[in-house]
Structure 1
Amino acid sequence: MHCTQSRPPYLDAGDRVILFDGVCRLCNAWCRFILKYDTRQRFRMAPVQSCAGQAILAHFGLPTDRFDTMLYVEGSQAHERSDAVLRVVTQLGWPWRLAAVLWLCPRRVRDFVYDHIARHRYRLFGRYDQCELPPADDAKRVLDSRD
């Protein structure tokens, strides 16, 4: 977990932002899942390839040229890997909140599984030639689409 004293660029107070690999088919499916089940619209998305994604990664001292983890930013804290996934999923409500039981699993084990999937995600799920955009109805939930 990365924590800073200042708010990351592009974020307003209270924003909850999920940074994801915009060309990864698995990552895009994850974002569509969030958009569908985040009925309270708590989360915003930002592809790591976007200006906002790059600035947020740099703010937390993370690489901006390779993307091997999902990042979840809430306030001035950034959460990576399995912690990020669980923090997001457990805020979606029933039945997704049941995933909280995975907090009982040691982080080392959770992150081992996460890293294995992340390392092979393009081979297993494929990739897009360019960053995919969300449907027009959800464009306001993408960080770079702010006015």
Structure 2
Amino acid sequence: MASSSATILFDGVCNLCNGFVQFVIEHDAAGRFRFAALQSEKGKALLQAHGIQPVAEPGTVVLVQDGKAYTHSAAALGVLRGLGGYWAAAATVLLLLPRPIRDAAYRLVARNRYRWFGRQESCWLPTPELAARFL
């Protein structure tokens, strides 16, 4: 599902979201995904360009790909499909679940992510080696 122009917008202060970004970086050897914090100016601009209003406390990761923005479970599973291999197979199986069920589970985790995983005071900054993959 991911193309060379796929961008993942994530909550830059959320430990779970930062862990997800680290997971994608580790498993995306081809470097197909780029990243931007939802709180950043570029992240906010991408949201607005796709008709999504930025909010103070984001509730979803967003996958921007092929001119479309995907949110909630569609975004997370789209990223997994873009990683290929076993991750794509797992995503394909999970996509068999109806979206309302997938999104309900996603929202449950999103509502509790700061309590369960913690949060940072400021957005995570990439290392110099990874900076080119961040907007």
Q: Point out where structure 1 has 5 or more consecutive residues left out of the alignment.
A: 1-12
Secondary structure at the counterpart of residue 64 of structure 2? strand
Mapped to 1, the partners of 2:46 and 2:82 lie a distance apart of 22
Would you identify which runs of 4 or more consecutive aligned residues in structure 1 move more than 4 Å?
none
Q: What SS does the corresponding residue of 1:136 show, helix, strand or coil? A: coil
Hey, what does 1:86 align to over in structure 2?
77
* Identity percentage of aligned residues: 42
1:59-70 aligned within 5 A: 59-66=49-56, 67-70=58-61
The residue identity in structure 1 corresponding to 2:24 is I
Pairing 1:35-74 to 2, within 5 Å after superposition: 35-66=25-56, 67-74=58-65
Taking the aligned partners of 1:123 and 1:34, their CA distance within structure 2 comes to 23
1:10 alignment partner in structure 2:
none
State the 1:14 CA deviation.
4.9
CA contact (8 A) 2:12 2:122 kept: yes
Could you tell me the TM-score, scaled by structure 2's length? Answer: 0.92
- The Cα of 1:95 is off from its aligned counterpart by 1.7
Number of matched pairs: 131
Deviation of residue 38 (structure 1)?
0.5
Q: What 5-or-longer segments of structure 2 have no aligned partner?
A: none
Distance apart, 1:29 and its partner CA: 0.2
Q: Distance in 2 between matches of 1:14 and 1:28?
A: 21
Partner of 1:21: 11
- Deviation for aligned residue 1:133: 0.8
Q: Which amino acid aligns with 1:41?
A: G
Query: Deviations along 1:15-68, whole A, 9 cap, x unmatched?
Result: 110000000000000000000000111000000111110101111222212311
Tell me by how many angstroms 1:97 deviates: 1.6
* Contact 2:37-2:43 at 8 Å conserved across structures: yes
Give the TM-score of the pair, scaled to structure 1: 0.85
Q: Distance in 1 between matches of 2:50 and 2:84?
A: 28
- For the pair 1:104 / 2:96, whether they are aligned, the reply is yes
Structure 1 counterpart of 2:86? 95
Q: Secondary structure at the match of 1:91?
A: helix
- 1:5 aligns to what? none
